[in-house]
Structure 1
Amino acid sequence: MTTHGLTVDVRTSDGVADAYLAHPDDGSPHPGVLVFQDGFGLRPALRSLADRIAAHGYTVLLPNAFYRHGPAPVIDLPDFIDPDERPEIFRQVFPMIRALTPELLRSDVGAYLAYLAAAPLVTAGKVGLTGYCMGARLAVLAAAMFPDRVGAVAGFHGGPLVTDTPDSPHLAVGNITAELYFAHAGEDPHMTPEHIARFDDALAAAGVRHRTDVYPGARHGYTQADTSAYDPAAAERHYRELLALFDRTLHGQSD
């Protein structure tokens, strides 16, 4: 299915978030999907990811989560990102990640969901969320904040999902009504086997429909085609699982 992509503005309580909107080029409405970026932000590789989801029959919104710091690209990124070679990237990114508090996230996600709800190319009903690295954490928190609006959540090489702080995502899952799929990287210091077990235990205790996989040998960031962590086989598996989740949860539903 061919797609169309364009840059859009989403008005929030703190200004305007620049975003990428991708949808099938058939003029028909499709279920809505909200993509939460990784720490490197809105860039061509993530737009391509949104295009691929859209080509499967979804209207996809990919906001610049760091819009308060400027339009994307918020920082100067190389075409190929190797964090080991460019440690200054993390020094620029981490303050923006920390600045996106749960309170600001709630405000922003409310605006993103309102945008999708009002979009003519989005069908009525709950939306799907997918997040990458830090975006997986944001997706869990968003699903807990807006349980009546979210029907499916996926997270890939996500983290941190279990922390010792009161805003840890694993402490919020009791509010979630969506079905979850999480695929952790087998080689990921951000999500150790202990972290994964604690996150799964929290989901099970809350009665959340979920499935968790660990992709053996994959590194943190394995879905991101413009980084040194990219793993083509793991990335393809991610697409299969993500689209299967959305297909079984978002189609044929209504408010």
Structure 2
Amino acid sequence: MSLKKSIRFLLIKSVGQYINLLSFVHPKKALHLSYTLFTNPRIGKISEDKLPEILRNTIKETFHHNEDHFQTYTWKGNDTRILLVHGWESNSARWEKTLPHLQKSGSTIIAIDAPAHGQSSGKEFNVPRYAEFINKAVEKYSPSIIIGHSIGGAACVYHQYLHPKTSIEKMVILGAPSDLKTLIDNYINMLSLNKKMFTLLEKRYLENFNFKLKDFSGGAFAKHIQIEGIIAHDTTDTVVAYEEGQKIASGWKKGKFITTQNLGHSMHDDDLYQEISRFLFEE
């Protein structure tokens, strides 16, 4: 293990130890700290004056939803509209390598910045809020295709579960997690948090979103999805386990599961994009 990784490992474990100690003397503070660390992205924000080049020559729109606002970027094309939904600690610029493949179809492409990412507002990210942003964008643009990466893919699955009757006809999910409980478990293991912290975090989600962690599952939501789709996941993904993609695919009757190798979590690959394009535009 390199010195840099060793320092990071010790820092993470010391933060976890601090939260564990805090859970006995100030459980509310311990919960606030652990929840904040789990839901507040450290990177992914971009300012208007430092927009990545790929986002500069686009039609930019800002939408307001409750106390939030979110940003979209549109590459104008024909009447076929595609909505792109990025993942954790990212922003709409992550689609730079995907765009040329989609633009060959002549489609209009819209990318959305997630809560607390890109130019969208907020400090906290969660899938239910992201699904609300997605729904506003779907109502505005009426896309027939939606493509989500990582936790953005999970938000697309959840959105389709909540809103099955929209303009969306096909969906593509890349490297997406299925179970919120798995994400929480991984987070707890990384910090070596005690069982009390898991109970507190589960209670927080139940109070905030009215669901138990075990019930928030892409595999379960996918059973209700009626549209066609692709679920692609890489065997070497170290961010979201390959088995998570399998869970989503197992519930989705009209979903085709594609296994890739040596692409990691980014899933950028010409052959994969060509297969996706055939599914979207030729079938």
Deviation at 1:9, TM superposition (A): 1.8
**Is 1:151 matched with 2:176?**
no
**How many Å separate the matches in 1 of 2:240 and 2:70?**
30
Cα gap change, 1:140 to 1:42, in 2 (>3 Å)? same
The counterpart of 2:126, out of the listed 87, 100, 119, is 100
State the partner residue of 2:159.
142
TM-score (norm 2): 0.60
State the partner residue of 2:38.
none
State the partner residue of 1:57.
106
Give the match's secondary structure for 1:172.
Answer: helix
**How many Å separate the matches in 2 of 1:188 and 1:70?**
24
State the partner residue of 1:110.
135
Q: Give 1:34-45 correspondences, 5 Å limit.
A: 34-45=83-94
Identity among equivalent positions (%) equals 12
The counterpart of 1:23, out of the listed 66, 72, 76, is 76
Deviation at 1:145, TM superposition (A): 1.9
2:92–2:112 Cα contact (<8 Å) kept:
no
RMSD over equivalenced CA pairs, Å: 2.8
State the partner residue of 2:23.
none
Cα gap change, 1:21 to 1:192, in 2 (>3 Å)? same
The alignment covers a number of residue pairs equal to: 194
Deviation at 1:42, TM superposition (A): 2.1
Any idea what the Cα deviations from partners look like across 1:70-96, whole Å, max 9, x if unmatched?
726x8xxxxxxxxxxxxxxxxxxxx74
State the partner residue of 1:85.
none
When you count helix as a share of all residues, which structure comes out higher?
2
**Is 1:246 matched with 2:268?**
no
Deviation at 1:16, TM superposition (A): 2.6
State the partner residue of 2:62.
9
The counterpart of 2:233, out of the listed 184, 187, 195, is 184
Deviation at 1:45, TM superposition (A): 4.1
Specify the structure having the higher radius of gyration (Cα).
Answer: 2
Which amino acid counterpart does residue 107 of structure 2 have in structure 1? Y
Which amino acid counterpart does residue 153 of structure 1 have in structure 2? M
Cα gap change, 1:51 to 1:10, in 2 (>3 Å)? farther
When you count strand as a share of all residues, which structure comes out higher?
1
Cα gap change, 1:134 to 1:193, in 2 (>3 Å)? closer
Cα gap change, 1:248 to 1:55, in 2 (>3 Å)? closer
Deviation at 1:182, TM superposition (A): 1.3
Where does structure 2 lack aligned partners over 5 or more consecutive residues?
1-56, 182-212
